[in-house]
Amino acid sequence: MEPLEQIKARIEAAVPGAKIDIVPNPGPAQQLSLLIDNEHARAVARFLRIDPALRFDFCSNVTGVDWLDRTVKKTVKVKKLVDSEEKEVDETTEEKIPGYLEAVYHLYSMIHKHGPVVIRMRTTDRAQGARLPSLTSIWRSAEFQEREIFDLYGVRFDGHPDLRRILMWDEFVDHPMRKDYREPDDYEYEPTPHDDVLERAKQHCASRPQLDGAEKITDAVKG
């Protein structure tokens, strides 16, 4: 397979205006991936799929990532006067990075038997209704996995043929894989609450006396 730098250069030549960055996976593997801009995402994906030398015809996995607001410290060399003498010293700066959501696609070529190439798209923020273009029209295997990201992270995929919840029920509120998600204290729907779930259910019932009967039933079941 071609080096990622070469793939990036060929994409930029084939898709005018496309903005692509090579970024490391922040995990221990430090695997490199292509961060593609949302406006040209489908054109880039189509090129990766049909280019004769690449032919990434199989999307094996699509996953979501939630990045909270964070501060990154950077150390840079600056020139300063020290004891009336100009010297180069280390200076630490802080950069505040607003939060965003990501969709990450792992691509393989079944024809050429190479891969993976990892591509990423990012939302502008973490607000409700954050949007990304759907790549289901390029790789049909992304359909259910984009639905999962929509369900668990709240990303709306424009152009998806059937965007609806796939794991949680329709009436469920919020998106449980977001890092700031908080479990509700109302477990009255749990038929046999236990351990920490039971303790939270008891606290909830204590604040709502009308549910004392339900709590007694739960205790009877446990007994």
Domain boundaries, the chain: 4-68+99-182, 185-223
- Provide mean pLDDT across the span 97-122: 96
List pLDDT tens digits, range 77-89. 887 777 777 878 8
- Relative to beta strand 58-67, strand 100-109 is antiparallel
What's residue 70's pLDDT?
Answer: 86
What does each C-alpha distance from 139 to 18, 56, 69, 128, 170 come to in angstroms?
20, 9, 31, 26, 26
Query: How far apart are alpha carbons 68 and 61 in whole angstroms?
Result: 23
- Does the structure show a pLDDT above 90 at 110? yes
For residue 103 the two structure tokens come to 């969709």
For residue 45 the two structure tokens come to 């994906």
Backbone dihedral angles phi then psi of residue 110, each to the nearest 5 degrees: -75, -30
Helix (H, G, I), strand (E, B) or coil at 80: strand
* Residue 84 backbone class (left: φ over 0; alpha: ψ -120 to 50; beta: rest): left
4-68+99-182: CATH topology = Beta Polymerase; domain 2 (3.30.460)
Query: How far apart are alpha carbons 62 and 55 in whole angstroms?
Result: 18
What does each C-alpha distance from 1 to 4, 7, 54, 108, 114 come to in angstroms?
9, 9, 8, 11, 6
Cβ atoms of 136 and 159 within 8 Å: the answer is yes
What's residue 25's pLDDT?
Answer: 82
List pLDDT tens digits, range 126-135. 987 799 999 9
